[in-house]
Structure 1
Amino acid sequence: MNSGRDLRIDFFRGLALIFILWDHIPHNPLGEVTLRNFGLSDAAEIFVFLAGYSAVLAYGKLARRDGFTVATVRILRRCWTLYVAHIFLLVLLMGIMFFANEHVETRDLVREMGLTDFVENPQKALVDELLLRFKPNLMDPLPLYVALLFGLPAMLPSILRMPALALAVSLGLYLPATLTGWNLSNEGGGTWYFNPFAWQLLFVVGGLMAVRSDSTALAPARPSPRQPLFVLCLGYIAFCLLLALNWRWPALGLQAISPDMPLMKFGPGKTDLVPMRLGNFLALAYVTACLLPRGGAWLNARICQPLCSMGRHSLEVFCFSVLLAPLADIANALCDDHPVAQYTTAVLAVVMMVALAAWLDLYKRLGTARPAAKVAGSGHPGPAIRGRPSGGRPTHSLNPLRRCQPASVARPG
């Protein structure tokens, strides 16, 4: 597979993290400018699609180099990391909400966060938590990612060698999940908010696009009206935009098209990733790939660097945002939801996410040893030759990292 990193993955994953944060802060005015307000899909589709793309890109390369057994072990190890991160994050979130509930008198934050079951039956809730059945508000994405990544070893061989078969199997899971509501159970007799049997299709499609990007671009670099697929996708995006705007502002005059109609629902439609919603995102992805081809100079602009940095550390930044969203909500409640407070907390939360990503970038650079200098007159790298100046004292490297730390090994995922 291509060795060069596709910075579009990092950029759009960072953008999705901001959208997810703003969508998770109740009554946040900046939430009015996120993707969910201009179509049938939102940042969740971006995240799952890019998760499949980057996972197949990384573990597919590993499978071809070291075999599927090694790739499977690495995938399962990553699943365990995500599982532990989810449990730890849930404990932190519950601690924050229980503490804040004692200081915010106007609202019941424990009930709003979906923690009532834990208060009423903590033993059962704890078991359900370990089984990924107890998921309060904001805690649904990580269990979905764990489930999708856990199923990747079974799909990876066909994704790499028989893409048509992989797509057929994925559709075979998607259709009954969408049409019949086939889903995993949750605590209290409910089901998963993100149905993994439905959302796996978007994950697999992302992986298939990663394999295809090996040999050909996802779309032509310069779109043209003479490309029927591009024009068709653009028209469908416009149709979905019109629907979304009409449902928000009925004065546009399309009341005959209701958001409660089959295949057009925002609520259950998101759980089962209904076809209209899936089609809206795939059309957006195709048009975006046409307009913003890989390797564009715009990705090197200074304004894009914070987003790319967040995308490189998506797990850490996402977990941080899950804590920042309720903290911003609590701060807004203490300020009586004043507009200035709402804008301030939303912007400040993004600044803190950018700061975390920058710190992680710095930490990674500090932990990476510089390559050894080449020996003069040789064609291979070797240890640096320390010169001996006229005074007879040897010169030494002033950087202890070069002498003490081993070179880091890149890890997929």
Structure 2
Amino acid sequence: MFAFHVVHAHSTQIASASPVSTTSNFAPAPPPVSSRRWELDALRGLMLVLMTSTHLPTWFAIPAGQPFGFVSAAEGFVFLSAYMAGLVYTQRAVRDGIPAMRRAFLRRALVIYACQAACLLFLFTVIAALGMKFHQPAANNLMSFYLHAPLTGLWTGLLMIYNPPLLDILPVYIVFMLASPWILSHVLQGGWKTVMAASIALWGAAQFGLSRVLYDALVAATGLPVPFRETGSFETFAWQLLWVLGLCLGAYHARVPSERRIVFPSWLVKAAVGIAILFFVWRHMTGLEPFPQNDPLNLWFDKWHVGPLRLLDFLALVVVLLHYGGWLTRHLPRLRLLETLGAASLPVFCAHLVIVLVALAVVGESHPGRPPWFDPLMFALSIAAMYAVARLVRMFGSGPRSGQGRRAAPAARTGGSGTTLSVEAGQG
């Protein structure tokens, strides 16, 4: 598996790059270049656009879903967020010490939780009222458990036990952010082998229903009133593998010079390209499911459990992107819209949730009776609104101004297979 190859080849280098103590007394390190990684912002912006096209109730939601194969924007967004976390907070640990890194993770997790709580309350108040006013089943179905048991839905939602559809990714993100400082602390002092072995084992257990086993035990012990299907679609123990892989890669790039970056053997690159092409063609020939509906073989591509073949497709795309990333960075045009969206990814993600919820509550699911121009116009206005949010964040937030990004561009284009710029401006 690609993950084993990468970790086996480079975990020793990560552990030995420079010793890290639990205090702020570190060996001297080269001063970081304060800049955004514009190509990472562009990728995250692309993931946000793809998620919006999938979640908005338009006729092209299904054709636009999973455009690169049997991999969705959610996998890319989680992996990129983990990569940025590994990059940023490893530098924080090296510069200020592991306790400071842990405090930074906690602060970020609290910000994300505040966003989740705000979105949840928006769903339970504004969207609930709009759904009942316009009688849109699509909106009411999102919060059926809350409408059935409002008080239970409220407190279990705030505890991230009850997670309505569309609002079930940020709780997973929060859990990963809380676990990350302990993972990085171990990695910075002991290497990645143990962490990766445990992560892969958890992913394997998730394929056989680990979460359901733990849920049943919790219900038996506490009488938890939330049905299992209302706890969220994302299998946390499976998705943590994507997070740990991204965290591993980000931490590695934060501490290893560009000349020692990962270089894949040619056979692995060729295999990854072949797998990526195979799944890309397969997806666009058969649709979102590789086999007919209800065929048990679809479990191998299952999104919520990150099925084995879905994971294979994702890892192939990662290898291709890492190998050809330098060439793409130098030759592809920069899309400022995507960069702006990605630089403020958390506010823009929350804005996309608000837009999608309002659309479901007011106009409902897409249907043939709509004018042909309505859905494209709704999508364009949604992206424009998300861009306006990103611009406001750039104007009034603490992130870098556009001039900084332009000054950093020449350095970012000289990195071969990757760049060595650090990211001191936060994660958007």
Q: Residue 164 and residue 326 in structure 1: after superposition, are their counterparts in 2 closer, same or farther (change >3 A)?
A: same
Give the AA of the match of 1:46: G
1: distance between equivalents of 2:48 and 2:63? Answer: 15
Q: What RMSD, in angstroms, separates the aligned Cα atoms of the two structures?
A: 3.1
Q: % of aligned pairs identical?
A: 24
* 1:196 and 2:236 aligned: yes
Q: Residue 218 and residue 346 in structure 1: after superposition, are their counterparts in 2 closer, same or farther (change >3 A)?
A: farther
Q: Residue 262 and residue 137 in structure 1: after superposition, are their counterparts in 2 closer, same or farther (change >3 A)?
A: closer
2: distance between equivalents of 1:299 and 1:219? Answer: 22
Task: State the match for 1:20 in structure 2.
Answer: 51
* 1:238 and 2:277 aligned: yes
* 1:39 and 2:75 aligned: no
Shift of 1:81: 1.3
Look up the SS of the partner of 1:61 in the other structure. helix
Match of 2:325 among 285, 292, 295: 292
Task: State the match for 1:339 in structure 2.
Answer: 372
Shift of 1:218: 5.5
> Residues 211-222 of structure 1: matches in 2 within 5 Å?
211-213=251-253, 214-216=256-258
* 1:307 and 2:338 aligned: yes
Task: State the match for 2:414 in structure 1.
Answer: none
Q: Is the 8 A contact 2:137 2:364 kept in 1?
A: no
2: distance between equivalents of 1:255 and 1:42? Answer: 17
Look up the SS of the partner of 2:207 in the other structure. helix
- Higher RCO, 1 vs 2 (CA within 8 Å, ≥6 residues apart): 2
Shift of 1:246: 3.7
Q: Is the 8 A contact 2:105 2:178 kept in 1?
A: yes
Q: Is the 8 A contact 1:9 1:50 kept in 2?
A: yes
Deviation per residue, 1:323-360 (Å, 9 max, x gap): 11132344544995333111110111011111211222
2: distance between equivalents of 1:169 and 1:92? Answer: 37
Look up the SS of the partner of 1:261 in the other structure. helix
* 1:165 and 2:194 aligned: yes
Greater C-alpha radius of gyration: 1
Q: Is the 8 A contact 1:89 1:319 kept in 2?
A: yes
**Unaligned stretches of 5+ in structure 1?**
371-408
Shift of 1:229: 1.1
Look up the SS of the partner of 1:270 in the other structure. coil
Task: State the match for 1:61 in structure 2.
Answer: 91
**Unaligned stretches of 5+ in structure 2?**
1-29, 216-223, 404-423
Q: TM-score, normalised by structure 1?
A: 0.78
> Residues 5-404 of structure 1: matches in 2 within 5 Å?
5-29=36-60, 31-34=62-65, 36-105=66-135, 107-113=136-142, 115-161=143-189, 162-182=191-211, 185=215, 187-190=226-229, 191-213=231-253, 214-216=256-258, 227-248=266-287, 260-261=296-297, 263-265=299-301, 269-293=302-326, 296-297=329-330, 301=334, 304-330=335-361, 332-333=363-364, 336-364=369-397
Deviation per residue, 1:152-199 (Å, 9 max, x gap): 122112333402222112112222122334356492133431122111
